[in-house]
């Protein structure tokens, strides 16, 4: 299966790889490969300035609706001013002659959250501040009527002193704007393990969908695995997250409760905002722990196969035991 980089290189015969040049930007390396776009570290040869070059996937550019979403980033950027957002420097369309549409953003010296997690799970004491920062950025964006959508670890950069920056990836949308169904989005760029159940069903998404995505990333940071680690992408529609305390008893009941609230299947029961999520993370001692039916149901789901196996084993052993007893008494 081709990666986003392979698709970019195949698009029009113009290889986008280290050493190549897109207009007056020389590609130095790949920063993050997302489903919607690839971010490169590049040098402006006119000024010798290091920048981040964001090039949409060929599928995004080929679809008029999705391409318009990507190009809308300039409009969104003008309305947003937050230290956690990487600023837009320039936008360039294919019609301008380079063969590539792209966004030029300021450079931030950090690594993607995906790379950070590749080194192993994070202690809660480290994961919580990172997640609170992500929530604060998301809450700011939400307050300006924008839903981020498509949030993944590839879109989060972590620098020195755990500074966090968000890379826009072109599928953000204005609240109240014409809805783009996730069915259409998934046909073009695949299905993410970080999207909410309502998006997976093609239903309307809002800021609570972003909360869910952040919740999945937080769970993965702390637990070292996804809440639904199985091969089926739709497990989140029928199953419950693996209880954190089942994987690691050192996780506090309060922290487990916060994870459950962020990952509620029904958005009505989920945190209503990223701010609420961040407040609970920052004040775990004040989080009330509820007796969750999904925890009991998860345990029952896990025990059910074991019980069946034990029953089958018993049924097989009963005649063996009876035959053994018969032999024993016959010899006596």
On the question of pLDDT at 181 being above 60, the answer is no
Q: Contacts by 227-231 with C-beta closer than 8 Å and gap 24+?
A: 227/259, 227/263, 228/193
Question: pTM for this structure?
Answer: 0.79
- Give me the residues paired with residue 8 across strands: none
Q: Nearest CA to 148 among 218, 62, 97, 209?
A: 209
pLDDT tens string 255-274: 999 999 999 999 999 999 99
Length of the chain: 332
211 confidence band (pLDDT: 50, 70, 90): very high
Report pLDDT digits (tens) over 59-72.
767 776 666 666 66
pLDDT at 175: 53
**Which tokens is 275 given?**
């701010």
Quote the CA–CA distance of 275 and 272 in Å, as a whole number: 8
186 has pLDDT over 60? no
Mean pLDDT of the chain: 81
The confidence band for 210, taking pLDDT boundaries of 50, 70 and 90, is very high
Q: Where are the alpha helices (DSSP H) in the chain?
A: 4-11, 58-62, 64-71, 73-79, 113-117, 124-143, 182-189, 197-200, 207-223, 235-238, 244-247, 253-262, 274-282, 293-331
Range scoring the smallest mean pLDDT among 20-29, 39-48, 143-152, 272-281: 143-152
Q: Quick one: average pLDDT of 313-326?
A: 64
Query: H helices then E strands: how many in the chain?
Result: 14, 11
Let me know if 306 is exposed, middle or buried by CB neighbors in 10 A (0-12, 13-18, 19+).
Answer: exposed
């Amino acid at each position: 299966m081709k990666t986003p980089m392979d698709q970019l290189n195949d698009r029009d015969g113009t290889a986008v790889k280290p050493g190549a040049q897109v207009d007056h930007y020389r590609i130095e390396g790949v920063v993050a490969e997302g489903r919607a776009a690839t971010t490169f570290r590049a040098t402006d040869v006119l000024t010798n300035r290091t920048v981040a070059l964001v090039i949409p996937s060929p599928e995004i550019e080929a679809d008029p609706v999705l391409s318009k979403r990507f190009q809308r980033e300039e409009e969104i950027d003008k309305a947003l001013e937050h230290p956690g957002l990487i600023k837009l420097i320039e936008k360039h369309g294919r019609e301008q002659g380079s063969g590539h549409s792209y966004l030029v953003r300021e450079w931030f010296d950090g690594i993607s959250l995906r790379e950070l997690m590749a080194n192993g799970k994070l202690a809660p004491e480290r994961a919580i501040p990172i997640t609170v920062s992500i929530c604060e950025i998301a809450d700011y964006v939400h307050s300006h009527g924008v839903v981020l959508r498509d949030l993944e670890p590839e879109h989060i950069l972590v620098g020195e002193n755990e500074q966090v920056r968000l890379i826009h990836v072109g599928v953000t949308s204005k609240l109240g704007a014409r809805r783009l169904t996730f069915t259409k989005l998934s046909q073009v760029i695949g299905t993410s393990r970080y999207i909410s159940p309502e998006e997976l069903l093609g239903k309307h998404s809002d800021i609570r969908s972003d909360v869910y995505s952040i919740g999945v990333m937080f769970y993965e940071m702390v637990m070292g695995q996804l809440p639904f680690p199985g091969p089926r992408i739709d497990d989140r529609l029928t199953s419950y997250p693996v209880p954190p305390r089942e994987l690691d008893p050192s996780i506090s009941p309060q922290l487990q409760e916060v994870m459950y609230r962020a990952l509620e299947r029904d958005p009505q029961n989920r945190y209503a905002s990223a701010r609420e999520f961040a407040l609970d993370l920052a004040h775990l001692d004040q989080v009330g722990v509820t007796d969750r039916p999904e925890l009991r149901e998860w345990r029952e789901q896990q025990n059910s196969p074991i019980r069946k196996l034990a029953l089958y084993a018993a049924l097989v052993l009963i005649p063996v035991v009876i035959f053994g007893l018969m032999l024993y008494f016959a010899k006596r």
